[in-house]
Amino acid sequence: MSTLDSPERGAALLAGPAPRILAIVAPYYREVVDGMLAGAQRVFADVNAAVEVAEVAGGYELPAALAMALATPRRWDGYLLLGCVVRGETDHYTFICDAICHGVMDLSTRHAAAIGFGLLTVDSLDQALARSRDDRMNKGAEAAHAVIGQVALARRWGLAG
């Protein structure tokens, strides 16, 4: 594995109060998503973020839960979405992954929401586990860095709650 596989990231520079983050997680693959959430929590601890966790049944429910959260008065500065879809023997995988990704992108742009999107779309459970370990490849940590960066940008441009 080369050092180009995943960048080293430090704590994001974030002006203002500690961010409030809603983590919406789809723990269908509990070990994988718990590992990703643990990676995200370590990143959030660096900026003293207050994190609320909400679980949904599976990845397909992530966009609807995000839509519900965005429909409430802004209680959160940013949103973290974590889930995992493992390829099976049918086209179901492709349809589910496309629907989730398009749903999240539509909501994030329509609402100018700060989102960290950590949906693993993998061929095997081993691949998912490799991306949820406590190391620099943890995709939950990457998504947490993304949402903190988005919160910082929203604050810079005067869009924060």
CB 114 within 8 A of CB 79: yes
Residue 8 known to bind ligand: no
Residue 59 known to bind ligand: yes
Residue 90 known to bind ligand: yes
Residue 28 known to bind ligand: yes
Residue 53 known to bind ligand: no
Length of the chain: 161
Residue 72 known to bind ligand: no
Residue 97 known to bind ligand: no
Instruction: Say whether 102 is catalytic.
Output: no
Among 92, 102, 111, 145, the active-site one is 92
Residue 131 known to bind ligand: yes
Distance CA(66)–CA(74), nearest Å, equals 12
DSSP result, 14-60: --SSPPEEEEEE-GGGHHHHHHHHHHHHHHHHHTT-EEEEEE-SSGG
Residue 86 known to bind ligand: yes
CB atoms near residue 133 (< 10 Å)? 15
CA-based torsion, 59, 60, 62, 65: positive or negative: negative
Q: Which residues, including other chains, have CB under 8 Å from residue 149's CB and lie 6 or more apart?
A: 12
Q: What are the binding residues for (2S)-2-hydroxy-3-oxobutyl phosphate?
A: 89-90, 131
Q: What are the binding residues for 5-amino-6-(D-ribitylamino)uracil?
A: 28, 59-61, 84-86, 117
Q: What are the catalytic residues?
A: 92
Q: What are the binding residues?
A: 28, 59-61, 84-86, 89-90, 117, 131
